[in-house]
Amino acid sequence: MSPQITPIADTAQDLELSERILTPDGQRVANPQLDPYVADVDAAQLRALHRDMMVLRRIDAEGVALQRQGQLGLWAPCQGQEATQIGTARALAPQDYVFPSYRETGVIYARGAEPGDYVRMWRGEEGAGHDPEALRVAPLQIIIGAQTLHAVGYALGIRHDGADEVAVTYFGDGATSQGDVNEAMIFAASYQAPVVFVCQNNHWAISEPVAVQSQYPIAGRAPGFGIPSVRVDGNDVLACMAAMRWALDHARSGTGPAYIEAVTYRMGPHTTADDPTRYRDAEELESWRRRDPIARLEAHLRALGELSEEHLAETQAAADDIARRMRAECLGMVTRPPLAVFDGVYAEPHSGLERQRDEYAAYLASFESEA
Ligand SMILES: Cc1ncc(C[n+]2csc(CCOP(=O)(O)OP(=O)(O)O)c2C)c(N)n1
Ligand SMILES: [Mg+2]
């Protein structure tokens, strides 16, 4: 079965036009298309999703604090996007391969990142904070949309090998305007690549609002490429998980790519180098606070009588413990000499790179002679 819910005959970027299973106040509503995909999710699994989102929010807050304290060069917060990232990433099979953007802290968390993995890249110690092969997650991509092409290329390899894998790529609403993303969709559709596109519509591309970026709901574009899509409430973790299970099933079955637009909100700044009060209203932020994805699941669990004080205390302790280890790892990192940046670029000696290395060594030495 395929949701095939789009296109949406409305030009508004209205959240009400997205599919949901939990309402913002935590009530469960029937969704004939998505319900079958989460029929097995019991109270224990709901609590595990709640725990994931709580831990992720704590990791994110620690990343912001470490940057503010001068320990990281930059941090890209994901507060508000926990349901999208956890709901979709918890639907993945171990063998699937993810191609993320810089904001996917929750995705690398769900794939088993260690505490130091969250900060290593943002501290400038390594090109990738985590081991891509161990997590089956490519390095976080800073070039907007480039990872969608990498995902499709990888997916064509999966198809060629007949492997039981799906490539998954995450990108933002702003990225949908990039040529790379549109080219990736055309290739994926033309060659029936087993790839899932996950667009996190967090309403902003730095200071550019999505309403200016796209005159039509983003999920509605995918069918024009021949890619079935669904637009989900990205602050509803169950809807996100259901949509992702549908999309993964579709891609794994050999019928080509699938597309999800998760409608969510970036509650913090674009990065720690940004001040969102310069371009968006406090009222808008407040309206999204009322749709907080964690509060929504908590309200649902409470209504079920499944949210105990023990669970909350254990979750808080686990979140604090990860944050403490993340900080300790970060402060304990030993920065390599600047010239080490040239190591590991090529397996064999390379004359061009050696020339650059010598030039850079001479530049560094020029400071020593001045001293
Ligand atoms: C090719 C390219 N152009 C411009 C930038 C600068 N830039 C960094 S983030 C960003 C906005 C991205 O917005 P969106 O795709 O919605 O993702 P979000 O940051 O909201 O997660 C831009 C323009 C870049 N990194 N790469
Ligand atoms: Mg965005």
The pLDDT tens digits for 170-185 are 999 999 999 999 999 9
Share of the chain above pLDDT 90, in %: 90
Q: Which residues pair with 204 in a beta bridge?
A: 209
Distance (Å) from CA 44 to ligand 1 centroid: 37
Q: How far apart are CA 325 and CA 323, in angstroms?
A: 5
| pLDDT of amino acid 369 | 72
Pocket test for ligand 1, best of 82, 101, 144 (most atoms within 8 A of CB): 144
Share of the chain above pLDDT 70, in %: 95
Higher pLDDT: 1 or 264? It is 264
| pLDDT of amino acid 370 | 65
Question: Which protein residues touch ligand 1 with a CB less than 6 Å away?
Answer: 103, 142-144, 171-175, 202, 204-206, 266, 270
Instruction: Give, as residue ranges, everything with CB less than 5 Å from ion ligand 2.
Output: 172-174, 202, 205
pLDDT band at 89 (very low <50, low <70, confident <90, very high): very high
- Is the per-residue pLDDT at 13 higher than 70? no
| pLDDT of amino acid 172 | 98
The number of the ligand nearest the C-alpha atom of 177 reads 1
Active site residue 279: yes
For the structural domain made of 11-335, what CATH number should be given? 3.40.50.970
Higher pLDDT: 48 or 15? It is 48
Active site residue 350: no
Q: Please give the average per-residue pLDDT across 7-19, as a whole number.
A: 59
- For 218-243, how does the pLDDT look when each residue is reduced to its tens digit (9 = 90+)? 999 999 999 999 999 999 999 999 99
| pLDDT of amino acid 371 | 58
Nearest CA to ligand 1 atom 17: 172
- For 123-133, how does the pLDDT look when each residue is reduced to its tens digit (9 = 90+)? 999 888 999 99
Spell out a b/e string for 167-202, using b for 16 or more CB atoms within 10 Å of the CB, else e.
Answer: bbbbbbbbbbbbebbeebbebbbebbbbbbbbbbbb
Q: Which of 90, 123, 266, 300 is catalytic?
A: 266
Distance (Å) from CA 197 to ligand 2 centroid: 15
Q: Please report, for the chain, the start and end positions of each structural domain, with discontinuous segments joined by +.
A: 11-335, 339-370
- Is the per-residue pLDDT at 10 higher than 80? no
Nearest CA to ligand 1 atom 19: 205
| pLDDT of amino acid 127 | 82
**Whole-number average pLDDT of the chain:** 94
Distance (Å) from CA 175 to ligand 1 centroid: 6
- Is the per-residue pLDDT at 79 higher than 90? yes
Higher pLDDT: 118 or 215? It is 118
| pLDDT of amino acid 4 | 52
Q: Kindly report whether the peptide bond that precedes residue 132 is cis, defined as omega within 30 degrees of 0.
A: no
- For 290-318, how does the pLDDT look when each residue is reduced to its tens digit (9 = 90+)? 999 999 999 999 999 999 999 999 999 99
Longest dimension (CA), the chain: 73
- Could you give the C-alpha distances from 172 to 146, 163, 223, 323, in angstroms and in order? 12, 28, 18, 26
| pLDDT of amino acid 1 | 45
Active site residue 270: yes
Pocket test for ligand 1, best of 206, 214, 261, 263 (most atoms within 8 A of CB): 206
Lowest mean pLDDT segment, chosen from 1-10, 142-151, 306-315, 343-352: 1-10
Q: How far apart are CA 257 and CA 48, in angstroms?
A: 29
Q: How far apart are CA 302 and CA 308, in angstroms?
A: 8
Atom of ligand 1 nearest to the CA of 176: 15
| pLDDT of amino acid 2 | 52
Distance (Å) from CA 321 to ligand 1 centroid: 32
- Is the per-residue pLDDT at 275 higher than 50? yes
The number of the ligand nearest the C-alpha atom of 201 reads 2
